[in-house]
């Protein structure tokens, strides 16, 4: 694979996630270096082809698939302050995904090594020609990087390609309302002609970008209604709810995919509970039911 040029000073190296390469002051800045045994070598090779040295690494958030090769690249790593402890601690990453220490090899991106974060930033900060913008909901400090010069925004996991969602079932999120707010923010950029680059999926712009954002949004809104329909049949635990959602969307149910879907399922239940739409009940375990008044 080779770099794809997206603008005068920006390139994309494909993958899941893809890595953005931004040229700043004659050096390369990587956004979301990614994961994989040879990923760091590939990135170094492509940067050398440009005749550049590494300057820095930025991460949209601290999930292992976005940062696991960062220690193998000789450049400091920058991350939002809400995310650095997730990146640096393998246990914190497992807690966010699984809720506790996870069984070995169980999670899709279980990565036991520590990742050193060298500096933190705030939303609104300018870093190497990129502006950090708030796009949370997928994770607490999920950050997009706006490149006005090249007319694009690297959106990380603030939205997903259609194939990713169709393969898993639910967009991975920890707060549905924040996720929807980030989609609304991205729609503003799409309507103003910006190219949107997701971490998992291909870059989109114009009507195609708006359609994909609407697909992400509709899946979230539909799932809220779907959970209520499921619970009208009787009380159910989170595992059962996530299982039913996956079957509804025609997703192959595997332990790993089910574990991923448990996280957004819990987030949806929390939202519905806080809105007074569902209630908790102890019935051979913790279950949820439609609020009856």
User: Is 197 strand, coil or helix?
Assistant: strand
Tell me: do 11 and 148 sit in the same domain.
yes
Bridge partners (DSSP) of residue 158 are none
Burial of 293 (0-12, 13-18, 19+ CB in 10 A): exposed
Question: What's the whole-model pTM score?
Answer: 0.92
Instruction: State the pLDDT confidence band at 112, using cuts at 50, 70 and 90.
Output: low
CATH number at residue 269: 1.10.10
What are the tens digits of pLDDT across the range 36-61? Answer: 889 999 999 999 999 999 999 999 99
Q: Could you list the residue range(s) of the whole structural domain that residue 94 is in?
A: 4-158
- With a cut of 80, say whether residue 292 has pLDDT above it: no
Instruction: State the pLDDT confidence band at 219, using cuts at 50, 70 and 90.
Output: very high
Query: What pLDDT score was predicted for residue 85?
Result: 85
Domain for residue 50, yes or no?
A: yes
CA 34 to chain centre: 12
Tell me: do 103 and 247 sit in the same domain.
no
User: Is 28 strand, coil or helix?
Assistant: strand
Per-residue tokens: 4: 């794809």
CATH number at residue 27: 3.60.15.10
CA 218 to chain centre: 17
Domain for residue 169, yes or no?
A: no
- Nearest-Å Rg of the Cα atoms of the chain is 19
Please say whether the dihedral angle defined by the alpha carbons of residues 289, 140, 159 and 3, taken in this order, is positive or negative.
Answer: negative
Query: What pLDDT score was predicted for residue 203?
Result: 96
Query: What pLDDT score was predicted for residue 105?
Result: 67
**Final residue of a structural domain among 158, 185, 217:** 158
Tell me: do 38 and 115 sit in the same domain.
yes
More confident residue, 272 or 91: 272
Query: What pLDDT score was predicted for residue 89?
Result: 78
Bridge partners (DSSP) of residue 145 are 132, 154
User: Is 210 strand, coil or helix?
Assistant: helix
What are the tens digits of pLDDT across the range 251-260? Answer: 999 988 998 8
What are the tens digits of pLDDT across the range 158-214? Answer: 999 999 999 999 999 999 999 999 999 999 999 999 999 999 999 999 999 999 999
Query: What pLDDT score was predicted for residue 16?
Result: 87
Tell me: do 21 and 124 sit in the same domain.
yes
Q: Are 229 and 223 in contact (CB under 8 A)?
A: no
**Final residue of a structural domain among 119, 142, 158:** 158
Contacts of 192 (CB under 8 A, 6+ apart): none
């Amino acid at each position: 694979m080779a770099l794809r040029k997206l603008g005068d000073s920006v390139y994309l190296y494909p993958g899941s996630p893809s890595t953005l390469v931004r040229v700043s002051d004659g050096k390369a800045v990587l956004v979301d270096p990614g994961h994989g045994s040879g990923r760091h070598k590939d990135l170094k090779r492509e940067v050398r082809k440009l005749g550049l040295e590494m300057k820095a690494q930025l991460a949209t958030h601290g999930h292992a698939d976005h940062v696991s090769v960062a220690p193998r690249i000789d450049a400091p790593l920058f991350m939002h302050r809400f995310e650095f402890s997730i990146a640096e601690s393998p246990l914190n990453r497992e807690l966010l995904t699984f809720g506790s220490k996870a069984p070995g090899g169980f999670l899709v991106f279980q990565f036991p090594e520590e990742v050193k974060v060298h500096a933190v930033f705030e939303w609104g900060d300018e870093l190497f020609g990129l502006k950090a913008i708030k796009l949370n909901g997928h994770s607490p400090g999920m950050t997009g990087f706006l490149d006005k010069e090249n007319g694009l925004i690297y959106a990380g996991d603030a939205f997903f390609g259609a194939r990713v969602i169709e393969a898993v079932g639910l967009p991975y999120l920890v707060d549905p309302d924040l996720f929807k707010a980030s989609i609304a923010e991205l729609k503003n950029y799409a309507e103003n002609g910006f190219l949107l680059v997701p971490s998992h999926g291909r870059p989109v712009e114009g009507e195609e970008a708006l359609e994909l954002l609407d697909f992400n949004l509709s899946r979230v809104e539909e799932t809220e209604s779907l959970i209520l329909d499921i619970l009208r049949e009787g009380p159910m635990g989170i595992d059962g709810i996530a299982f039913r959602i996956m079957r509804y969307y025609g997703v192959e149910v595997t332990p790993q995919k089910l574990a991923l879907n448990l996280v957004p399922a819990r987030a949806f239940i929390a939202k519905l509970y806080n809105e007074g739409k569902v209630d908790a009940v102890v019935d051979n375990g913790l279950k949820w039911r439609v609020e009856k008044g």
